[in-house]
A and B are shown apart, each in its own frame.
Chain A
Amino acid sequence: MTRYILSICVILSAASCDKRDIRLDNPNDKLRPFAEFMQNNYAYSLFHAAIEKAGLTEELNGPGPFTVWAPTNEAFNRLGINRPEDFEAFGVDSLRQLVLYHVLRGRALEIEDIPENSANNRYTTESGADVWLARFDTGNRLTRMFRPYINGIMIGQWSNRVNSNEHYGRHNIHVANGILHEIGNVLRYDNVPVRDWLENHEDYQVLVAGLKHFGYWELLADDKQWTIVAPVDSLFEQEGMTVETVSALDTSVYGKRLFGAYIFPVRFFMSDLRLYLFAMRVTSTRTVDLRIYTPIIGDENFSNGILNNYSTFFVNRTFPSSGYGWDDDTYSTPNNAFDRDQSHLVRNGIIHRLDGVALLPGQVFND
């Protein structure tokens, strides 16, 4: 019996020794490359059709590594593309740019490789334009949840469901020559400056007229990055502001903030606002939580900002760095003023559609 125990001890002591990790040196050759994976997966049949039409099948089946952000069919449906034939309306070159904007070459980027709790992580895609990755961690150790974003679009989940508590969906899918993440919106990028984008869209002509009339138009030509929160013409017209009436306003009487309020001197996607939260102490016991707050260019006595709820845009008299006072001249839009599907990334900034007019001429007389 003792001998048995002894020999078992010997076996155990031998088996418990330190061993090297098992390492698979050969990649699994049963995995398919990208374009084939797309072809075999009906959830991405429209993206596959786009790849075919753009003539990129061979390239995406070639050696990588690639990282691909794959829009689902629903994402294309939202753009009015429901069948593969609908891509006929696109030029091959523009389709090629569109597809390549979803492809990163030379790196298989897992979600965990995106720096934690940071935005504005720049990666250059195959189309030559940049995408911006962000990742936020929420919850404690037990309820920990990643929120990864690309260009303000949640990776692996529909972007209009960001407030749901479901885990985000398909990500880190390994294929033979890289890695794939699902996105619920097609990534779009217009290689034009902010000014051209606004002028080319008929919906924003009152805003354009106002920005020109109050002297902001030259400023936006700058290489700096901007964020424009842009109310459409119909909202201005409801308040009696048209291209004609705005152009006729006396700039010595009305403060520049009437239109300067819609400009932020920094580029941010709405999802990036998760990163910024600061409490303004407004009385000795009360604080107000804000997401972003910047002085209005040319009218620095006033500032614009977005409240903690991510959805209320407001303008008020610039908060003193020490001391109290919050309610002075505060004007805000209704809640839910931002539609996440209506953000447009352009060369020198982002335009977010704003569902509300923050200031009326009668509220902005110069001091």
Chain B
Amino acid sequence: MRQQMLNNGQQRIGKGLQLSFVLLISGALIVSSCAKIEPVVINEPAYLRVFNNLRFKVTVDNQDQTHSTLVMLINPEYDSNGIPAGAEIIGDFLVTRNSYAPPYPSHIGNSLDVYNPEYPGKERVNAGPILNGFDLSSWAQVPSGQHRVAFYSRPRSEVPFFNLEMRYRTEPIVDTVLDLRAGEVYTLHVLQKDFNTKENGILLRQENFHKLALADSLVYVNFYNMSAKGFFEAPHTVKPNSGNHLLGGLNLEYDWFQEGIREEMNVFYVAYDERFLRQHYDGTIKPLASFMTHLKRDTENPATAPYWSLPLFFNAQDSIRSFLFQEFFFSRPGFDATPESFMIPNDGPEGPGAGGYARLLCYGNGREEPPAPRRQNYVAVPNLIVTTHSGEHNPRSFATVNSIEIVNNSVYLTTVQRVYEPPVY
């Protein structure tokens, strides 16, 4: 009995010692290990997202000329020779954009290199807030007001812009002043305005999706054709490769956009239900289809294109998970759309297809093939409907607001989503 009490006493002393050790160590760690972070506050910010739409073909004649990788300098400082020495905001390593601009900056966790397919993208900046329900985390906060904005073309290497050789820092491709108003949402595009003169420029678009009365039970999409003047008419040989992803892309002939599209095109949509495609190969169940809009080439107009709506669900029985996916058809006015004509490759102003027709598939993550009928060699981007685990539903489908931008022979999809409930496990 006495022995047991002794043991207990020893144990208590041991425990007390252990605890004080633990406390001592944790105290030391608390004192030594923390770093204080000063939050950066931007008063009255505007929200800015920047895309580099430049895509050049390197040939023997132009190999020493402009590179398609850019650096963005906002309010640059120049040294006595007129060479930029620093800037208030720097967006370096800005490479040609990806075919899909996701609704949140996923690049930052998904790559090991410095190359940034958009600004802010991988940059550590103050991200935009949730504005009228829209998640602006892909937008950067920048101070509102007038800013001098310069873009310099730079070689694609991991050397920061200000450490590059002097010869890369002498001539900006764009140097202008932008007026950004507080609380507004902007997308800034660097693009080629004229394919023949190689004139480059920018297009600042003030977005309005957060101000419109958009229903959260409909998918919205608008269209821009920001191709350079003369691109479609130019011979195939001088055109750069497109940034399009081809499903099962073995035959480049079926990149419908490879020659660009005409100045004016009509846009149609079809929304298929995946379940019915699996069951009815013969097409007895008709997809939802309609004429959507008339699209004109424009690299100057900063206005937002009108949004058109698509259904989120196929019918009233569905309310959580949508099985719809979309296909968009671009055809020149008066194009005789027969099934045979759909099979003609779009091969430029001279070929039999004569740029009359192009189709864009929005399915899955943009990399997987939809069920039969097989759509091999199709230009594909992700589904406009975001389907993910949210709340108690796994998965649940959400409507989004989208822009489909055609720049020369590349198609880009930008998706903006609303904030939704985090998953409950």
Q: Do A and B bind each other?
A: yes
**Residues of A with Cβ closer than 8 Å to B?**
3-4, 7-8, 10-11, 14-15, 17-20, 112-121, 135, 264, 266, 268, 272, 275-276, 278-281, 284-285, 292, 294, 321-323
Q: Determine chain B's interface SS by DSSP, over half rule.
A: loop
Instruction: Decide: A284 and B352 in contact? CB cutoff 8 A.
Output: yes
User: Contact between B33 and A119 (Cβ–Cβ < 8 Å)?
Assistant: no
Contact A115–B22 (Cβ < 8 Å) = no
Chain B residues with CB under 8 A of A120: 63-64
Q: Which residues of B contact A10 (CB under 8 A)?
A: 26, 30
Q: Within the complex, which residue of B19, B236, B352 is in contact with A279, where a contact is CB–CB below 8 Å?
A: B236
On chain B, the number of residues with a Cβ less than 8 Å from chain A's Cβ atoms is 34
**Partner of A118 from B23, B61, B67, B253 at Cβ < 8 Å:** B67
Known: A116-B157, A118-B156, A264-B60. 15 other contacts (CB 8 A): A19-B33, A114-B157, A118-B63, A118-B155, A120-B64, A266-B60, A266-B61, A275-B58, A276-B59, A276-B60, A278-B57, A278-B237, A278-B238, A285-B253, A294-B60
Q: 5 pairs across A/B with beta carbons < 8 Å?
A: A116-B157, A118-B58, A120-B64, A280-B237, A281-B236
**Most chain B CB atoms below 10 A, which of A19, A112, A275, A278:** A278
Chain A residues near B92 (CB-CB < 8 A): none
Select B30's contact among A14, A113, A135, beta carbons within 8 Å.
A14
Alpha-carbon distance between A334 and B349 when the two chains are bound, in angstroms: 36
Shortest Cβ gap from A306 to chain B (Å): 10
Contact of A7 with B22 in the complex, beta carbons under 8 Å: yes
Which chain B positions have C-beta within 8 A of A268? Answer: 60
The closest CB in chain B to the CB of A119 belongs to B63
Distance between Cα atoms of A193 and B235 in the complex (Å): 37
Residues on B with C-beta less than 8 A from A321 are 235, 237
Taking CB as reference atom, which chain B residue is nearest A320? Answer: B235
Does B37 make an interface contact (CB < 8 A)?
yes
Does residue B351 face the partner (Cβ distance < 8 Å to A)? Answer: yes
Chain A residues contacting B157 (CB-CB under 8 Å) are 112-116, 135
The answer to whether the Cβ of B350 comes within 8 Å of any Cβ in the partner chain is yes
Q: Quick one: which of B325-360 are within 8 Å of A by CB?
A: 347, 349-352
Q: Which residues of A contact B34 (CB under 8 A)?
A: 14, 17-18
Give the CA-CA distance A178 to B215 in the complex, in Å. 62
State the Cβ distance, A7 to closest chain B Cβ, in Å. 4
Residues of A contacting B1 in the complex (Cβ-Cβ under 8 angstroms): none
Query: Shortest CB–CB separation between residue B156 and chain A, in angstroms?
Result: 4
- Provide the residues of chain A in CB contact with B25, threshold 8 Å: 11
Question: CB-CB < 8 A to A281: which residues of B?
Answer: 236-237, 347, 351
Most buried by A among B37, B58, B67, B347: B58
Residues from chain A with Cβ under 8 Å of B6 in the complex: none
B252-275 contacts to A, CB under 8 A, are: 253
Q: B29 at the A/B interface (Cβ < 8 Å)? A: yes
B41 proximal to A (CB < 8 A): no
| Inter-subunit contact B60/A121 (CB<8 Å) | no
CA A7 to CA B20, docked complex, whole Å? 10
Bound-complex Cα distance A8 to B22 (A): 8
Note all chain A residues with C-beta closer than 8 A to B253: 285
Contacts of B40 in A (CB 8 A): none
A-B pairs, 8 with minimum CB distance: A115-B155, A14-B29, A116-B156, A7-B22, A10-B26, A17-B34, A115-B157, A14-B30
How far is B37's CA from A20's CA once the two chains are assembled, in angstroms?
Answer: 12
In the bound complex, residues from chain B placing their C-beta under 8 Å from that of A119 are: 63
* Cβ–Cβ < 8 Å partners of A7 in chain B: 19, 22-23, 26
A11 to B23, CA, bound (A): 9
CB of B303 closer than 8 Å to a CB of A? no
Q: How far is the CA of A321 from the CA of B233 in the complex (A)?
A: 11
Tell whether, in the assembled complex, residue B63 and residue A112 are in contact, meaning their CB atoms are under 8 Å apart: no
B178 on interface, CB distance cutoff 8 Å? no
Q: How far is the CB of A17 from chain B (nearest CB, A)?
A: 4
**How does the 8 Å CB contact mask read for B278-309 relative to A, with 1 for contact and 0 for none?**
00000000000000000000000000000000
- Interface membership of B216, Cβ < 8 A: no
C-alpha spacing A264/B29, complex, angstroms: 69
B23 and A279 contacting across the interface, CB-CB below 8 Å? no
**CB < 8 Å: which of A17, A275, A285, A322 contacts B350?**
A322
Partner of A113, one of B19, B37, B159: B159
A275 close to B236 (CB less than 8 A): no
Q: Are A20 and B35 in contact (CB under 8 A)?
A: yes
Contact of B19 with A17 in the complex, beta carbons under 8 Å: no
- Contact A14–B33 (Cβ < 8 Å): yes
Within the complex, the shortest CB–CB distance from B381 to chain A, in Å, comes to 19
Whether B63 pairs with A17 at a CB distance below 8 angstroms is no
Task: Report whether B237 and A279 are in contact in the complex, using a CB–CB cutoff of 8 Å.
Answer: yes
With A and B bound together, what is the CA distance between A20 and B35 in angstroms?
Answer: 8
**Does chain A have a CB within 8 A of B171?**
no
Contacts of B35 in A (CB 8 A): 17-20
